[in-house]
């Protein structure tokens, strides 16, 4: 018996949105750390909250990683929300 599918849509209640943000941010940073350690990759996650506060996780110096990104030819994998269409969480 699995979880039911839910549509991903913006949360309207401020308190629920804040709690969800805090929990999912922690989960995202944990997954980023695991990916960096297990796959021996350099990565950075930068989040700009709705209050314009910055949150950052990086396995290396973020500024150095951004320089590498900027100096890399544009032939690289890039994703945006459009790549996921009508995403439903399982």
pLDDT in tens, 30-40: 999 999 999 99
Q: Is 1 contained in some domain?
A: no
Pick from 46, 41, 65, 70: nearest CA to 56: 46
Residue 23 and residue 21: Cα distance in Å, rounded?
6
85 lies in some domain: yes
pLDDT of the residue at 6: 78
Task: Residue 50: give its domain's CATH number.
Answer: 3.40.1810.10
| pLDDT tens profile 3-21 | 888 788 999 999 999 999 9
Is residue 37 assigned to a domain?
A: yes
Provide the domain count of the chain.
1
- The parent domain of residue 17 ranges over 6-89
C-alpha 83 chain-centroid distance: 15
Give this prediction's pTM: 0.79
Q: Please, are residues 57 and 32 in contact by the beta-carbon 8 Å criterion?
A: yes
Confidence of residue 71 (pLDDT cuts 50, 70, 90): very high
Rounded CA Rg of the chain: 16
pLDDT, residue 77, reads 84
């Amino acid at each position: 018996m699995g979880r039911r599918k839910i549509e991903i849509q913006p949360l309207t209640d401020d308190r629920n949105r804040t709690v969800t943000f805090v929990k999912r941010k922690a989960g995202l940073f944990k997954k980023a750390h695991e990916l960096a350690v297990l796959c021996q990759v350099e990565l950075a996650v930068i989040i700009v909250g709705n209050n314009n506060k910055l949150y950052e996780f990086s396995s290396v110096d973020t500024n150095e990683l951004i320089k590498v990104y900027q100096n890399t030819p544009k032939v690289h994998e890039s994703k945006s929300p459009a790549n996921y269409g009508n995403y439903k969480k399982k």
